[in-house]
């Protein structure tokens, strides 16, 4: 069953209570939190998300995406929120296996994200060590970007590896109802969608539209 993770990077943080209330009233599986350090990407969102407050507003699990250089020392800041998943990047991570093992130690699902320019073959040797591959379908750093079409081919190629490795495929960036069908047919298990959902006038309808094969 495909799951939907709503990225709240583009939500109205001045009205976060009503934004989270709207999410709670619709069928979303996870809240996707984009943590950026201003180094891995230009934006810095480390102080944007008040996870203590958001945790009081929802029972939904977090899907935390660390877009940071060498995330090893930052992981502990987010394990306390008991997220479903913490995803780190393959790129700019000299402590990749140590980061993976640190997340595992907390019994949290481990995700590894790859940027559009990264070949999936570069992560084949760690597929047995992780729970999720997050395929970036835009260049990381900001919401509202256009979906990169060859992402579908990456998802297909990863899906063929599932017979050998036990992992889920997630896609993040520009995901909407014009590309979701192709992603689902290619083998995506989790769709991360931001502006398409956050800015929707009918969130329930928009969520359903992502899941139509």
With a cut of 70, say whether residue 166 has pLDDT above it: yes
Mean pLDDT rounded to a whole number for the chain: 95
Are the beta carbons of 94 and 71 closer than 8 angstroms?
no
Q: pLDDT tens for residues 60-85?
A: 999 999 999 999 999 999 999 999 99
With a cut of 80, say whether residue 56 has pLDDT above it: yes
CATH number where 128 lies: 3.20.20.70
Phi, psi of 192 (to 5 degrees): -95, 120
Domain count, the chain: 1
Instruction: Give 60-111 as a DSSP string.
Output: PEEEEEEESSSGGGTTHHHHTT--SEEEEESTT-TTHHHHHHHHHHTT-EEE
Question: Which residues contact residue 125 at a Cβ distance below 8 angstroms, ignoring those fewer than 6 apart?
Answer: none
Query: Which two tokens mark 120?
Result: 């999936």
Percent of the chain, pLDDT > 70? 99
The pLDDT of residue 146 is: 85
The pLDDT of residue 165 is: 87
Q: pLDDT tens for residues 138-151?
A: 998 766 678 999 99
The pLDDT of residue 141 is: 74
Domain that holds residue 11: 3-210
Are the beta carbons of 95 and 70 closer than 8 angstroms?
yes
Which residues are the active-site residues? 34, 172
Which of the four pLDDT bands, split at 50, 70 and 90, describes residue 118? very high
Sign of CA dihedral 137, 51, 127, 97: positive
Task: Answer whether 0.85 is exceeded by the pTM.
Answer: yes
Q: pLDDT tens for residues 83-111?
A: 999 999 999 999 999 999 999 999 999 99
């Amino acid at each position: 069953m495909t799951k939907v993770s709503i990225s709240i990077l583009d939500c109205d943080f001045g009205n976060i209570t009503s934004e989270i209330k709207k999410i709670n009233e619709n069928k979303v599986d996870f809240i996707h939190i984009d943590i950026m350090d201003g180094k891995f990407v230009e934006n810095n969102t480390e102080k944007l998300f008040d996870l203590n407050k958001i945790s009081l507003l929802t029972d939904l699990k977090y899907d935390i995406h660390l877009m940071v250089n060498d995330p090893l020392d930052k992981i502990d800041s987010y394990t306390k929120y008991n997220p479903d998943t913490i995803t780190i990047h393959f790129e700019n991570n000299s402590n990749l296996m140590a980061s993976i093992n640190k997340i595992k130690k907390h019994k949290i699902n481990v995700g590894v994200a790859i940027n559009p320019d990264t070949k999936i073959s570069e992560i084949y040797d760690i597929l047995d060590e992780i729970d999720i591959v997050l395929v970036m379908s835009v260049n990381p750093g900001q919401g509202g970007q256009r979906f990169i079409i060859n992402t579908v081919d990456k998802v297909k190629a990863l899906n063929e590896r599932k017979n050998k490795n036990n992992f889920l495929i997630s896609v993040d960036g520009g995901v909407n109802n014009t590309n979701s069908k192709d992603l689902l047919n290619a083998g995506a298990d989790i769709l991360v969608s931001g502006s398409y959902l956050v800015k929707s006038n009918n969130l329930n309808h928009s969520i359903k539209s992502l899941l139509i094969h």
